């Protein structure tokens, strides 16, 4: 039987997302706190003569996921092989549960999973710092998806530092139909802040102390997202959803990343199930923080 490795990798949400004025390279400086949530894609890789990829959508629409060499999974495999000077190829399969183009880093986490999976398959034992640097080449969120947990993201989001947290946080994750393009949301952010100018982003000390204390209710008051006005402009229905969640008792509610997924912070699983019932189209209930990309099966 041929060898194969399967890696589980989480969705992320942004507890805060401070965005500064666009840089000369087209990216925006960020000050964010990422949290990995208990909603996972699985990526499986096997040795093959040529690269290929298939995608299965577990209750979600995957028609927009590329199935050629532009998929982050195959780009990750190529990047790692080139890094080690290997002439290896993979047959890859993604089992997708994370909504596509939702602001949950679904594509990024598949790239993170592929790095970890190929590293195990080829026995390359890439040092952590090297793996994070390769992850940064794939995308701004990819290093966090390798790391998991809760972490501050700076630079364009690719520089990650773990954050001390206590306890568990319970979230309702409400995907919205249709998805939003990340570059389109950042582009609108630029236009909306053209006159007033975007401030240099900072992370609130209150948010970090709520995380240290395991204080969900306090954390709820500190959630923020500078991309939210742009996401609301493109999707006016989102503001209404946040109101519904807050009226139902959530401690805090925000658009995550570039949207359109909205997330609702709750006290417990029971509280989250209760808040989730307030929506016409209920979302998912997930616990956080969870692990980053990790091997769950290795057949040799
Ligand atoms: O890094 P990643 O490939 O995920 O970024 C996708 C797009 O999101 C970029 O091409 C850019 O338009 C936007 N982006 C940005 N500033 C960031 C991160 C992403 O403008 N810090």
Q: DSSP letter string over 227-278?
A: THHHHHHH-THHHHHHHHHHHTT-SEEEE-TTSS-EEEEESSHHHHHHHHTT
DSSP string for 76-130: HHHHHHHHTT---EEEEEEEE-SPTTSSS-HHHHHHHHHHHHHHHHTT----HHH
Which atom from ligand 1 is nearest to the alpha carbon of 141?
Answer: 4
d(CA 110, CA 142): 9
The mean per-residue pLDDT over the stretch 164-176 comes to 96
Banded model confidence at residue 179, pLDDT cuts 50, 70, 90: confident
Nearest-CA residue for ligand 1 atom 10 is 183
Q: Taking each helix axis as running N to C, give the angle between helix 106-121 and helix 128-138, from 0 to 180 degrees, rounded to the nearest 10.
A: 140
133-167 as b/e: b if 16+ CB within 10 A: ebbbebbbbbbbbbbbbbbbbbebbbbbeebebee
In angstroms, the CA 230 to CA 186 distance is 8
The answer to whether 69 and 48 are in contact (CB under 8 A) is no
Q: Quick check: 1 pLDDT over 60?
A: no
Ligand 1 pocket test, pick from 34, 134, 159, 186 with the greatest ligand atom count within 8 Å of Cβ, gives: 186
Q: Whose CA is nearest to atom 14 of ligand 1?
A: 27
Closest residue to atom 3 of ligand 1, CA basis: 139
Atom 11 in ligand 1: residue holding the nearest Cα: 183
3 state SS of 188: helix
* Cβ atoms < 10 Å from Cβ of 268: 12
User: Worst-scoring range by mean pLDDT, 6-20, 113-127, 165-179?
Assistant: 165-179
Q: At what angle do helices 128-138 and 72-83 cross, to 10 degrees?
A: 140
| Averaged pLDDT, 249-268 | 97
Q: Output the pLDDT for position 252.
A: 98
Q: Just list the catalytic residues.
A: 12, 141
The stretch 159-182 carries a mean pLDDT of 94
The answer on pLDDT for 91 being more than 90 is: yes
Determine the distance separating the centroid of ligand 1 and the alpha carbon of 98, expressed in angstroms: 19
pLDDT tens per residue across span 47-63: 999 999 999 999 999 99
Q: Determine the distance separating the centroid of ligand 1 and the alpha carbon of 183, expressed in angstroms.
A: 6
Q: What is the pTM of this model?
A: 0.96
- Protein residues with CB under 6 Å of any ligand 1 atom: 27-28, 30, 139-141, 156-157, 182-183, 186
| The predicted structure's pLDDT at residue 90 | 98
Q: Whose CA is nearest to atom 12 of ligand 1?
A: 183
Site to substitute for ligand 1 among 104, 157, 182, most atoms within 8 A of C-beta: 182
Q: Which atom of ligand 1 is nearest to the CA of 29?
A: 21
Q: What is the mean pLDDT of residues 104-121?
A: 97
Distance 36 CA to ligand 1 centre (A): 19
- What's the whole-number mean pLDDT along residues 144-161? 98
């Amino acid at each position: 039987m041929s060898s194969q490795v399967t890696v589980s990798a989480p969705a992320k949400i942004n507890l805060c997302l401070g965005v500064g004025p666009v840089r000369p390279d087209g990216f925006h400086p960020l000050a964010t706190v990422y949290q990995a949530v208990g909603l996972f894609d699985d990526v499986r890789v096997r040795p093959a003569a040529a690269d290929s990829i298939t995608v299965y959508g577990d209750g979600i629409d995957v028609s927009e996921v590329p199935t050629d060499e532009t998929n982050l999974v195959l780009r990750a495999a190529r990047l790692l092989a080139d890094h080690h000077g290997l002439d290896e190829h993979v047959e890859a399969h993604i089992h997708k549960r994370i909504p596509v183009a939702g602001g949950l880093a679904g594509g990024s986490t598949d790239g993170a999973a592929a790095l970890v999976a190929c590293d195990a398959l080829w026995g390359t034992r890439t040092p952590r710092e090297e793996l994070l640097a390769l992850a940064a080449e794939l995308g701004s969120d990819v290093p966090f998806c390798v790391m998991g947990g809760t972490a501050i993201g700076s630079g364009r989001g690719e520089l990650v530092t773990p954050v001390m947290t206590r306890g568990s946080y319970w979230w309702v994750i409400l995907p919205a139909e249709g998805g939003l393009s990340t570059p389109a949301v950042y582009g609108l952010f630029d236009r909306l802040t053209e006159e007033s100018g975007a401030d240099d982003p900072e992370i609130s000390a209150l948010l970090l102390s709520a995380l240290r204390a395991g204080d969900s209710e306090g954390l709820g008051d500190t959630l923020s997202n500078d991309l939210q006005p742009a996401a609301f402009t493109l999707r006016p229905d989102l503001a209404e959803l946040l109101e519904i969640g807050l009226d139902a008792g959530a401690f805090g509610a925000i658009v995550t990343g570039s949207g359109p997924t909205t997330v609702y912070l709750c006290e417990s699983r029971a509280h989250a199930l209760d808040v989730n019932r307030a929506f016409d189209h209920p979302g998912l209930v997930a616990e956080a923080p969870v692990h980053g990309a990790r091997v769950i099966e290795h057949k040799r």
